[in-house]
Structure 1
């Protein structure tokens, strides 16, 4: 059984396991699977909608409040170009951007944690027959690669638009149409991911902020709260491990 909080990052997914405080209103630049490992959590959604559940799948760009209610939780973030997300697009189109209880309750906790660690989303959802995925436009894929592999800086919209031989506005539309998230939001998401990957439990949040190409720790904190609805310290300080895969 797991103990302590842990973060695992791989090329197109991320997993946070542990206990976290209730968030403020926020929206992600990537779809997320929320799981209550020890009990139910609460979701607040626009329009006053409140859901209490063991699991939920939320599409990118959906504003919400996540309240674990003191339970141990798992949060699996899926990059918008991940094959699983491409296959989920028709599912979101049919069922809406927030899907309650997508993980069958018959699955026991040990199996659930094993599937989380292996990022086996189809097994978690009980959806082995997801629709065929549609390919991402090659120009967008190249832009994603440049964003993720950037050194000290992060390419801006104009630079990526030029490399794609598009105007900045046309590039914005293409990026959003292909991935379901705006370029600006995804660029910030990429920076936050880089900062989290650089963080070490005995390290400095300021150093992590600089590794994420933020101007300073205050800038990092603002963008982190915008992305997760929590402060960096409330999420990163409790970590006992940061694991980087692939």
Structure 2
């Protein structure tokens, strides 16, 4: 049995057990919850016990799927067995049998909520586009929020409020997620833990390991060890396309 220690995923997510139920416990609670599928908000602090294969879907901030998962998680930030749970299980089994180049087609046909629309809100404001471009294209930079606000000619309080309103996360949480995502993409392509950490803006490998464990409840050295049987798919988000073409 695999155990994921207390963690908060920053962004909303869902996890499904392919072989058996999953156990999850919210921080501060004594009793464990059991379910075949959980949906949870990124702010939820929880621990997880897994037995067998699982499928996990993390939503990028500002995506339609993120809004769907957040609403499904409910006011307590956690819910179980959504109506699309069986569809998610079937999709995971299809991915297990498919080649990586088939993943996008499988997901596009299996999920009614994998299209992104929230990025269109961002297109309406060139100031937010400038901020997002800085955060995504240069994750290794240490960006001062006050300096960002000055660059776009707005107050720091306006930027903080409007960014969270449009994207769904505070600026610092958004930057943390995309630094982790940048490092994971590098690891997936064969980079060492040290190189992936430094290029994504972490101080060193230990810093990256600590942040990764805080988000996922497990060390990256376990996830990315040689021979580990994991199927990965990282979608090319619409928000990335918007930032590149403008």
Flag whether TM exceeds 0.5 (same fold). Answer: yes
Match of 1:80 in 2: 61
Q: Is the 8 A contact 2:14 2:57 kept in 1?
A: yes
Structure 1 CA distance for aligned equivalents of residues 88 and 160 of structure 2: 43
Q: 2:17 aligns with which of 36, 57, 64?
A: 36
Query: Aligned residue for 2:187?
Result: 199
Q: What SS class does the counterpart of residue 7 from structure 2 fall into?
A: coil
1:79-98 superposed matches below 5 A:
79-88=60-69, 90-92=71-73, 96-98=76-78
SS in 1 for 2:33: strand
Q: Report which structure shows greater RCO (CA 8 Å, sep ≥6).
A: 1
Say if 2:25 and 2:46, in contact at 8 Å, map to a contact too.
yes
TM-superposition CA deviations, 1:160-213 (whole Å, max 9, x none): 323333233332233233334322222111111111111147542111111211
- Cα gap change, 1:83 to 1:163, in 2 (>3 Å): farther
Q: Which runs of 5+ in 2 are unaligned?
A: 97-102, 237-246
2:43 is aligned to: 61
Higher strand share: 1
| Superposition deviation, residue 41 in structure 1 | 0.8
Any unmatched runs of 5+ in structure 1? Answer: 1-19
Please identify which structure carries the higher helix content: 2
Aligned counterpart, 1:168: 156
Is residue 101 from structure 1 mapped to residue 89 from structure 2 by the alignment? Answer: no
Partner residue in 1 for 2:202: 214
Q: Provide the secondary structure at the position in 2 that maps to 1:102.
A: coil
Could you say what secondary structure the match of 1:56 adopts?
A: strand
CA RMSD of aligned residues (A): 3.4
Aligned length: 221
Determine the C-alpha separation between the residues in 1 that align with 2:149 and 2:23. Answer: 40
The 3-state SS of whatever aligns with 1:210 is: helix
- Report if the CA contact (8 A) 2:37-2:85 is conserved: no
2:146 equivalent in structure 1: 158
Q: Deviations over 1:4-25 (max 9, x none)?
A: xxxxxxxxxxxxxxxx831111
Deviation, structure 1 residue 243? 5.4
Q: Conserved in 1, the CA contact under 8 Å of 2:12 and 2:69?
A: no
- Once the two structures are TM-superposed, the CA of residue 63 in structure 1 deviates from its matched residue by 1.0
Q: What is the distance in 2 between the residues matched to 1:183 and 1:151?
A: 12
1:228 aligns with 2:213: no
